[in-house]
């Protein structure tokens, strides 16, 4: 994976982040989701480099081979605000004054927080297969509680760690051929590490508390994303089942919004890398279209 990419650890203050980066041109920060690592982008990142972009693929704090912070009672060490600040410091140390942020799954919540908290740094925002945490909770019904029960189970103390670590492969699954051998091996190493599993669960614990509160404070203050924003959702995932038109959930959060469905399952970077790379490159190359909401 990641041939000709630099693979290093970068100190961002409280933790060190494992990061792979390469390329020349406008910078693109790719943020993975749960329970993946930065290696989930191994089929997309080289394609973006070939198209003239600098690509940065970190493991978020707590995930993969990045550092794990001491757990705090309010779970602030894994809040999206804290993780976003790590990534701001990372990009600054790599020499990128401004950049595009792309986030998938749990990474889309970090990407949103980064764009809201640091608007002067984010040129464009791409969020994939997720809606803001506060919006998901506000719309929670029996279907969401049934299909996304893990949000509430993961927020409980201790028992989720015990359940997952009893048999991580059975809990998380994964397919070596579909994911790519090296990506699969890296992912399996992560899900078998007790410290990583606990940190990944802390992501969800922060989500139901501080992260929801931060988003609700943004809405009360009328704070929105000011840069061009793209929402990409998988046609074989459940965004449309849960929300009908998922763009309708995002419209209050971004003044310059467009959306593209992609023929893929949830892990689109692994399952549909050509299509995803083309969608991202096209969005990164187009001019701003304020007020647009396309599908």
Which residue numbers are catalytic?
A: 105, 266
H/E element holding 29? strand 27-31
Residues in the chain: 295
Task: Please tell me the distance from the alpha carbon of residue 262 to that of residue 272, in angstroms, as a whole number.
Answer: 8
Helices (H), the chain: 45-50, 80-93, 106-117, 133-138, 142-147, 150-154, 159-166, 168-172, 176-179, 181-191, 194-206, 212-221, 239-243, 247-250, 268-271, 273-285
Neighbours of 99 (CB within 10 A): 23
The pair of three-digit structure tokens given for residue 54, joined into one six-digit string: 């600098």
134 near 216, Cβ under 8 Å? yes
263 near 275, Cβ under 8 Å? yes
- Please report the DSSP string for 212-265 in residue order: HHHHHHHHHHT--B-S-EEEEEETTSSHHHHHSSTHHHHGGGBSSEEEEEESS-
Task: Please tell me the distance from the alpha carbon of residue 253 to that of residue 1, in angstroms, as a whole number.
Answer: 35
């Amino acid at each position: 994976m990641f041939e000709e990419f630099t693979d290093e650890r970068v100190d961002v203050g409280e933790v060190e982040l494992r990061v792979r980066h390469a390329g020349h041109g406008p910078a693109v920060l790719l943020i993975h989701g749960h329970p993946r690592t930065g290696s989930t982008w191994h089929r997309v990142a080289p394609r973006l480099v070939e198209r003239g972009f600098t690509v940065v693929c970190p493991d978020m704090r707590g995930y993969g081979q990045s550092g794990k912070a001491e757990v705090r009672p309010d779970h602030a060490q894994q809040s999206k605000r804290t993780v976003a600040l790590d990534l701001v410091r990372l990009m600054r140390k790599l020499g990128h004054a401004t950049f595009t942020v792309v986030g998938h799954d749990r990474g889309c919540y970090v990407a949103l927080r980064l764009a809201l908290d640091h608007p002067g740094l984010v040129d464009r925002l791409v969020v994939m297969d997720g809606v803001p945490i506060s919006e998901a909770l506000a719309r929670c019904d029996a279907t969401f509680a049934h299909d996304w029960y893990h949000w509430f189970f993961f927020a409980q103390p201790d028992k989720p760690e015990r359940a997952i670590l009893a048999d991580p492969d059975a809990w998380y699954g994964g397919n070596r051929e579909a994911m790519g051998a090296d990506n699969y091996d890296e992912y399996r190493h992560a899900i078998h590490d007790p410290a990583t599993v606990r940190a990944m669960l802390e992501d969800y614990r922060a989500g139901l508390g501080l992260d929801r509160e931060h988003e609700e404070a943004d809405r009360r203050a009328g704070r929105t994303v000011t840069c061009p924003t793209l929402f990409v959702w998988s046609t074989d995932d459940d965004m449309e089942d849960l929300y009908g038109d998922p763009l309708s959930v995002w419209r209050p959060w971004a003044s310059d919004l467009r959306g593209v469905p992609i023929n893929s399952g949830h892990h689109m970077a692994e399952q549909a890398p050509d299509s995803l790379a083309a969608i991202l490159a096209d969005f990164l190359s187009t001019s701003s279209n304020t007020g647009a909401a396309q599908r």
